[in-house]
Amino acid sequence: MDDPQSDPEALFRLLPSVDELLRGSGLSALLEKYPRAVLVQAARSILGSVRKDITAGAHTQKSVLEVVYAMGDRVALEAQRSLSPTLVAVINATGVVLHTNLGRAPLSEAAIRTIVDVASGYSNLEFDLQSGTRGRRDRHAGPMLLRALGSIVGEPAEQIGERWDVAIVNNCAAATLLGLNSLAEGGEVLVSRGELVEIGGGFRIPEILKKAGVHLREVGTTNRTRLSDYAGAINANTRMILRVHQSNFRMQGFTERVELEDLVELGRSSGIFVFEDQGTGLMVSLDDLGVHGEPSLAESFRKAPDLITASGDKLLGGPQCGILLGKSAVVERVRSNPLFRALRVDKLTYAALEATLLSYMTHKEDEIPTVRMLRVPASELHRRCLAVRDAVATRNLEAIVVSTQSVIGGGTTAGSTLDSFAVSLRHELHTASALLAELRRQSPPLIARVQNDRVLLDLRAVPPAQDEVVIGIVRAVAPRVWKR
């Protein structure tokens, strides 16, 4: 390069060394706050990125000197960033109760207390307190689930316990994979063409079947599958009928689907397994919320297929996990599969799941945040929205309360919404997306949504105790947006 103004070698010589940087006035004070190694790493990272820009021809002498002048601040920020966890708590003002991107179900206070209790010291995770010898971790949570289901379907838990068993793995995708592999490896599995679905996050039924080592035999058509389609496809290689809950979409019009009890009957008479991927883990009906036709785990349980799988952190409202609920002999096959060991959960999951199930067993579902948020009356949301509106409205920031619809989310209850209210914000000078981004940059970040160029704060998934935090964030942001 002929221009001395942008000769890289000359520009590199303008950069300070790491030592020089740390001796500078801005950073030497920080050495008391942060370990030296953290600042050295931050300084190297910033210097490295400036060198890269110089090499790419993005700098002149003038711009490098400007960068050098501000470098102390950049290193301080980088050091701070490097010490901050990437996973932080946020406030969910999207109205989506089971927001997969925001961590799905928040845990109940009881679940958190149990986690703290079990995690703070030792536990009987794999220890039998009766005999004082080695126990099995996969015996936790199952009895509580069976008792909770027993109390819902009105059957004594002992009777259920004789015929049913439970195994817990990392998530429902793992449970489905494990169920297929344990019961049907090398054989054929019948699936309706209407149920060859993608659940989201890369979970596609045909691909899971392949990875589980089973052969997919499609039956019926996309919109209609009859019992005779299943019956006609059964051959000597058929091991299983898989039924998948169409969680995240709904078929309308000329459709037909076989009832689970008819599949169970067919499976029994043909000597093949019937496996339902129930998905949502819904325990109590949502009918009284106007959400109809959402099948529950208890309903599937009553119809008694050989195996049912469900997520722990969808409508059940517990920790992330996959529940395998099945006939005792079937779950025994699952347990003896080496994959089960690879997909097992930790003690914290068992702790939170047992506490969540206990709330169902004692009919105190309202202790579970997911259940509570789904059931909060619109009138209560309206009242809270009015209070937030009154606290944040200014001359520059218009705030009104609007009626809206919350979706339940998490790939559940497709097409259904809940009546809700939101505080709708519009800033005199700034776009809704600029305001939205600024809310997201706060601590804690406030996650909202934009509709018709206004920011909507739906309070359904905000714990009432955090309304004040929401108010504080909006107040802090409004003047800042104003200045930009």
Ligand X SMILES: *Cc1c(COP(=O)(O)O)cnc(C)c1O
List contacts with ligand X (CB under 6 A).
Answer: 171-173, 176, 199, 203, 244-245, 247, 277, 279-280, 311, 322, 411
**Nearest distance from residue 244's CB to ligand X, in Å?**
5
Helix, strand, coil fractions of the chain, as percent rounded to 5: 50, 20, 35
CB nearer ligand X, residue 309 or residue 420: 309
Classify strands 91-92 and 446-447 as parallel, antiparallel or unpaired.
Answer: parallel
Q: How far apart are CA 79 and CA 96, in angstroms?
A: 35
CB nearer ligand X, residue 92 or residue 280: 280
**Helix (H/G/I), strand (E/B), else coil: 311:** strand
Rg of the chain's alpha carbons, rounded to an integer? 28
Q: How far apart are CA 185 and CA 164, in angstroms?
A: 22
**Nearest distance from residue 226's CB to ligand X, in Å?**
22
**Nearest distance from residue 242's CB to ligand X, in Å?**
11
Crossing angle (nearest 10°) for helices 36-55 and 71-82: 120
CB nearer ligand X, residue 71 or residue 352: 352
**Is the dihedral angle over the CA atoms 391, 395, 396, 399 positive or is it negative?**
positive
**Nearest distance from residue 322's CB to ligand X, in Å?**
6
**Nearest distance from residue 370's CB to ligand X, in Å?**
14
CB nearer ligand X, residue 220 or residue 409: 409
Taking CB atoms, the residue at the shortest distance from ligand X is 279
In terms of phi and psi (left: phi > 0; alpha: psi -120 to 50; beta: otherwise), the region of 239 is: alpha
**Nearest distance from residue 284's CB to ligand X, in Å?**
17
Q: How far apart are CA 134 and CA 478, in angstroms?
A: 59
Q: How many CB atoms lie within 10 A of CB 190?
A: 27
Q: How many CB atoms lie within 10 A of CB 121?
A: 6
Q: What is the DSSP letter of 131?
A: T
CB nearer ligand X, residue 150 or residue 369: 369
- Amino acid identity of 297? L
Q: What backbone phi and psi angles, to 5 degrees, belong to 155?
A: -130, 140
CB nearer ligand X, residue 350 or residue 421: 350
CB nearer ligand X, residue 264 or residue 401: 264
CB nearer ligand X, residue 64 or residue 199: 199
Who's near 192: CB < 8 A, 6+ residues apart? 218, 219, 220, 225, 229, 230, 243, 257, 258
Q: How far apart are CA 404 and CA 46, in angstroms?
A: 46
**Nearest distance from residue 181's CB to ligand X, in Å?**
15
**Nearest distance from residue 209's CB to ligand X, in Å?**
13
